[in-house]
Amino acid sequence: MSPNRSPQPLAATPAATAVLAMVLTEGPLSRVDLARRLGISSAAVTKAARPFLDDGYLHELDSERTAPGAGRPVSPLAITPDREFVIGVKVTADEVIGVVADLKARIRNSAHRQLPDCEPATVLATLAALVEELLDADPELRGKTRRMGVAVSGDVDRVRGVVRLSPLLGWQDVDLAGPVGDATGLVVVVENDVKALTVAEHWFGDGVGTDDFTLVTVGAGIGCGIVTGGRLLSGAYGVAGEVGHVCVDASGPVCHCGARGCVEAIAATEAIVGRARLLTGRDGLTFTEAAELARSGSPEVCALFSEAGTAIGLAITAVVNLIGPERIVVSGEGLDAYDLFETEIRQAYATHAFGAAARCPLTIRPLPFEEWARGAAAVGIQTLFAPARG
């Protein structure tokens, strides 16, 4: 396996991984705080942190006393954000969106490139050109960028860097990490786009500090990323979290997967648009136009969005009842029409969430595609600091 397909983390031991990850996501933290929260000795924290201090990934802040009259001052450990940069790219059906992020996943530069088609060779060439554009913007970035995350919709084998199936792109068994790494000279990790966004939210967003966190996305598909016990859930076959293919109506419309009544067949943007076109007889109707028809009072189109909201609410409830997350974030481009199905989402959730599970708050966060690219960068950062999951 080539180096571009097997990124090696900086941390060589579980203690080093834990220390580095906690400082990255929740720091600055003192050695005493790290020892207490991780359940290890202060000496173990010092030993784990020393190589990262020597390499410049961590630094000590000025000494401070934890309280008046307390013992000797402590020097909290903090990440050095500009020690290294990571590229993140989100691939859609018609464009690639790229960002350069520092080690706190703060975006330093971004760029877009249109895709004339979704052929793997076209996407590869576009990705390579996009990377050059991003790195040419600042000489500092080129000298400090070694890793890249790529986020793609569908079934992704992250370990092998292969897109097993992406209906949106029309791909099956496409080796992406190897060719992209060869074309760019970067260490490349490929991840499902919803899982990548979940990593970003868990490490750097609303999920910071939680061991159990869920992200649901509403748009071209209905996706879900699940963190349980502090780890992103992949499952035995890498497709954990596919709530878009939970059946909520056994007699409902046929899904693109071949099953009937899936959440995606009712609530994905194309599903809503397709049914709205049949109802109105307008073959060129767009999602935005369908939403405007609903807002202007069209009862048939309003009903489509209501059905979508109920389906999404049931999908969210299924996740909450099964996994029991502490927090759940709902995002995605479909939230442009959130006002049309918010009531139904919350009603379905309130009705079907079991017992204390209903206490899990729903946070609504519309995120632009740059944030999805940032998610890809977050996956790259994750591989830098923690072992890749199998």
How far apart are alpha carbons 152 and 197 in whole angstroms? Answer: 11
Per-residue model confidence (pLDDT) at position 1 = 38
Report residue 346 as tokens: 């919350």
**DSSP letter (8 states) at residue 19:** H
Q: Chunk the chain into consecutive blocks of 10 residues (it has 390) and report each block's average pLDDT, rounded to whole numbers.
A: 55 83 90 92 90 91 61 80 95 94 94 95 96 89 92 90 91 96 94 93 89 91 90 79 89 89 93 93 92 93 94 92 90 85 91 86 83 95 69
Domain 3-79 coded CATH 1.10.10.10: yes
Q: Where are the domains of the chain?
A: 3-79, 84-199+371-385, 208-364
Q: Are 344 and 161 in contact (CB under 8 A)?
A: no
Domains 84-199+371-385 and 208-364 equal at CATH topology level: yes
Per-residue model confidence (pLDDT) at position 301 = 93
Per-residue model confidence (pLDDT) at position 369 = 81
State yes or no: cis peptide before 28, omega within 30 of 0.
yes
The 10 Å CB-count burial string (b at 16+, else e) for 153-170 is bbbbbbbbbbbbebebbe
Query: Would you identify the CATH topology of the domain 208-364?
Result: Nucleotidyltransferase; domain 5 (3.30.420)
Per-residue model confidence (pLDDT) at position 64 = 64
**CATH class of the structural domain 84-199+371-385:** alpha beta
Per-residue model confidence (pLDDT) at position 73 = 62
Q: Are 100 and 85 in contact (CB under 8 A)?
A: yes
